[in-house]
């Protein structure tokens, strides 16, 4: 900081990286709070020899500047602080009075505190504030950024996984060109290759992605991926708390599958008829939301008490999760970065095409403005991150089936059209009920899906599914035993 820069700062009391202390002949006690705050936030200057009076500063100067400098640096090298800090010092002469300044940089390994963790401070505006217990815990977890979910769980094994969920994932993987050499291996070998397990023991990532609920909640009691649709622009304006809320799911993969189906009802997906009569849809907006969901899960601090949640309002959709981004937002947008809190989760999403290659996801989120003419907003605080996308039009729901019939019909028409021909693809949205369209979509995505799994995803009883499927016998049939087998979509004979 030059002398001119210092004088400029003296004219503005709101600098977040600038703190003044009188300290005429000795170090003030509050100086250590500021050292902790700057270290834990974004760094800053501590200037001794200034008195703050309202909105102005009075230059008083310091006596025995060499002693103050020695006392300050000696304390930082002592055991008062939990780690050594690389602080630089500089002196100034203004109007014949001497000022002493120290630059305290932000550190990578947080928190920085003096005497005990309770004395952890953060910078809020132009002042120091004692960190909350939640903020301190988040700082400790961030010390192992990108490592916690890679750790193995002692005395664990593949039997703690929901194998139906794992097979659903492997079916999705089979629809891509990734990991071809592992298509036919058994579950044990597959899990080892993608780091779901490590030498037979589950990783936290594997448990979170595919685990059975009792084990997930035993080892990660804070686990939650919540999704709520709120019939108003804000919570305060809503006449009812919500019109839909996702039932609690066992693991990440189950929650993601349901949320992705809800996303299809939220955005435009224009249909284009090709020369051969088949329909294709433009899913660009849906793909952005899908990427946002993957980013939320990949960057979420799943060990934080803050619940990850997607809130769908009538004019915007908001993704909020515990855990900040690894870099300031301004350093992420428009640039390639690949520092992930949960690397294995990121790879699992990329393998099945739900997320972009490492480093490019945030750029895809920024494409929302080009697609819709509205600008998304991204914020990242010490304990949470939020990504918000404006919706071009309000979500209109006479009931849950209105949009399901309209939007799912488009998607099913496209997917089924590939299997049963142009005519069925054209008429399926018209001849089937919204619930039957949902069933057909699930079967199209996973022919081995069970009635119980369909009922859970749609949110009805198994009896309801058992009543609906016989009504669809003109286009859908089940091959094999009731507890097994697979579904087939009947084409033009």
CA distances from 466 to 124, 252, 258, 400, 482 (A): 58, 27, 20, 21, 11
Say what the pLDDT of residue 144 is.
57
Indicate whether 357 pLDDT > 60: no
Average pLDDT of the residues of the chain: 78
What CA–CA distance (Å, rounded) separates 223 from 216? 7
In Å, the largest CA–CA distance within the chain is 98
Domain ranges of the chain: 3-131, 148-390, 400-489
Indicate whether 177 pLDDT > 80: yes
User: What pTM was computed for the model?
Assistant: 0.56
Say what the pLDDT of residue 202 is.
96
Lowest mean pLDDT among 17-31, 296-310, 359-373, 417-431: 417-431
CA distances from 144 to 23, 42, 130, 138, 156 (A): 38, 19, 23, 10, 22
Indicate whether 265 pLDDT > 90: no
Question: Per DSSP, what are the bridge partners of residue 280?
Answer: 272
Residue 275: alpha-carbon gap to chain centroid: 40
pLDDT, average across residues 60-67: 84
Assigned CATH for 400-489: 1.10.10.10
Whether the CB-CB separation of 279 and 273 falls below 8 Å is answered with yes
Say what the pLDDT of residue 211 is.
95
At residue 270 the predicted structure's pLDDT band, cuts being 50, 70 and 90, is low
How buried is 353 (Cβ within 10 angstroms: 0-12 exposed, 13-18 middle, 19+ buried)? middle
Which tens digits make up the pLDDT trace of 392-420?
643 333 334 444 444 544 454 455 444 44
Share of the chain above pLDDT 90, in %: 19
Lowest mean pLDDT among 150-159, 191-200, 255-264, 451-460: 451-460
Indicate whether 493 pLDDT > 60: no
148 vs 361: which has the higher pLDDT: 148
- 258, 261, 267, 273: CA torsion to nearest 10: 170
Which tens digits make up the pLDDT trace of 295-306?
888 888 888 777
Confirm or reject CATH 3.30.565.60 for domain 148-390, answering yes or no.
yes
Say what the pLDDT of residue 284 is.
83
| All residues at 6 or more sequence positions from 4 whose CB lies less than 8 Å from its CB, including other chains | none
pLDDT, average across residues 254-281: 75
Whether the CB-CB separation of 92 and 50 falls below 8 Å is answered with no
What CA–CA distance (Å, rounded) separates 428 from 414? 10
Say what the pLDDT of residue 392 is.
67
Which tens digits make up the pLDDT trace of 207-236?
999 999 999 999 999 888 899 999 888 888
Lowest mean pLDDT among 74-83, 156-165, 224-233, 319-328: 319-328
Say what the pLDDT of residue 465 is.
85
Pick from 298, 381, 287, 388: nearest CA to 339: 298
445-448 long-range contacts, Cβ below 8 Å, gap at least 24?
445/172, 445/415, 446/168, 446/171, 446/172, 447/486, 447/487, 447/488, 448/167, 448/171, 448/485, 448/486, 448/487
160 vs 75: which has the higher pLDDT: 160
Lowest mean pLDDT among 106-115, 186-195, 253-262, 401-410: 401-410
Cβ-based neighbour number of residue 292 at 10 Å: 26
pLDDT, average across residues 83-112: 86
Say what the pLDDT of residue 125 is.
61
Report the run of H or E that residue 68 belongs to, with start and end: helix 65-77
Say what the pLDDT of residue 397 is.
37
Indicate whether 145 pLDDT > 90: no
Say what the pLDDT of residue 41 is.
79
Indicate whether 452 pLDDT > 70: yes
What CA–CA distance (Å, rounded) separates 93 from 72? 20
Report the run of H or E that residue 197 belongs to, with start and end: strand 197-198
How buried is 337 (Cβ within 10 angstroms: 0-12 exposed, 13-18 middle, 19+ buried)? middle
pLDDT, average across residues 112-123: 88
Which tens digits make up the pLDDT trace of 27-55?
888 899 999 988 887 788 888 888 777 66
Indicate whether 164 pLDDT > 90: yes
353 vs 366: which has the higher pLDDT: 353
3-class secondary-structure state, position 148: helix
Indicate whether 139 pLDDT > 60: yes
What CA–CA distance (Å, rounded) separates 205 from 209? 6
Top CATH class, 3-131: alpha beta
Whether the CB-CB separation of 289 and 363 falls below 8 Å is answered with no
pLDDT, average across residues 474-492: 78
Structure tokens at 276: 């051969």
At residue 257 the predicted structure's pLDDT band, cuts being 50, 70 and 90, is very high
3-class secondary-structure state, position 231: coil
At residue 154 the predicted structure's pLDDT band, cuts being 50, 70 and 90, is very high
DSSP per-residue string spanning 360-411: -HHHHHHTHHHHHS---EEEE-SSEEEEEEE-SSPPP-SSHHHHIIIIIHHH
């Amino acid at each position: 900081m030059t002398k001119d820069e210092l004088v400029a700062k003296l004219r503005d009391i709101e600098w977040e990286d600038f703190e003044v202390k009188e300290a005429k002949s000795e170090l003030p006690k509050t100086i250590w709070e500021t050292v902790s705050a700057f270290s834990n936030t974004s760094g800053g200057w501590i200037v001794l020899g200034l008195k703050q009076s309202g909105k102005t500063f009075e230059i008083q100067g310091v006596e025995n500047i060499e002693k103050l400098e020695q006392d300050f640096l000696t304390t930082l090298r002592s055991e008062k602080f939990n780690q050594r800090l690389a602080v630089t010092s500089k002196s100034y002469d203004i109007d014949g009075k001497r000022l002493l300044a120290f630059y305290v940089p932000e550190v990578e390994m947080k928190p920085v505190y003096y005497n005990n963790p309770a004395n952890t401070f953060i910078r809020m505006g132009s002042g120091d504030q004692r960190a909350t217990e939640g903020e301190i815990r988040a700082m400790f977890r961030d010390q192992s950024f990108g490592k916690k979910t890679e750790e193995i769980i002692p005395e664990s094994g593949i039997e703690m996984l929901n194998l139906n969920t794992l097979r659903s994932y492997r079916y999705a993987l089979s629809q891509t060109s990734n990991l071809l050499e592992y298509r036919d291996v058994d579950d044990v070998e597959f899990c080892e290759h993608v780091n779901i397990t490590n030498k037979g023991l589950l990783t936290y990532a594997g448990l979170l992605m595919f685990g059975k609920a009792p084990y997930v909640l035993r080892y990660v009691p804070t686990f939650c991926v919540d999704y709520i649709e709120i019939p108003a622009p804000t919570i305060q304006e809503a006449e009812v708390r919500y019109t839909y809320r996702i039932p609690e799911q066992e693991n990440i993969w189950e929650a993601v599958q349901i949320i992705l189906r809800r996303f299809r009802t939220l955005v435009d997906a224009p249909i284009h008829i090709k020369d051969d009569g088949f329909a294709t849809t433009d899913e660009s907006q849906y793909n952005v939301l899908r990427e946002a969901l993957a980013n939320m899960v990949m960057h979420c601090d799943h060990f934080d008490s803050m619940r990850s949640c997607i809130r769908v309002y009538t004019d915007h959709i908001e993704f909020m999760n515990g855990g900040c981004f690894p870099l300031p937002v301004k350093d992420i947008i428009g640039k390639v970065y690949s520092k992930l809190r949960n690397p294995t989760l990121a790879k699992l999403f990329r393998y099945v095409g739900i997320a972009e290659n490492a480093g490019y996801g945030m750029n895809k989120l920024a494409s929302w403005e080009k697609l819709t003419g509205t600008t998304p907003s991204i914020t990242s605080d010490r304990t949470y991150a939020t990504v918000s996308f404006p919706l071009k039009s309000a979500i209109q729901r006479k009931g849950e089936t209105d949009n399901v019939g309209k939007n799912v019909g488009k998607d099913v028409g496209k997917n089924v059209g590939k299997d049963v021909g142009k005519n069925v693809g054209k008429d399926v949205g018209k001849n089937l009920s919204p619930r039957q369209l949902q069933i057909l979509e699930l079967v199209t995505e996973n022919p081995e899906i069970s009635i119980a799994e369909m009922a859970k995803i749609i949110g009805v009883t198994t009896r309801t599914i058992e009543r609906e499927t016989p009504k669809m016998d003109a286009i859908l049939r089940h091959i094999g035993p009731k507890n097994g087998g697979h579904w087939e979509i009947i084409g033009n004979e």
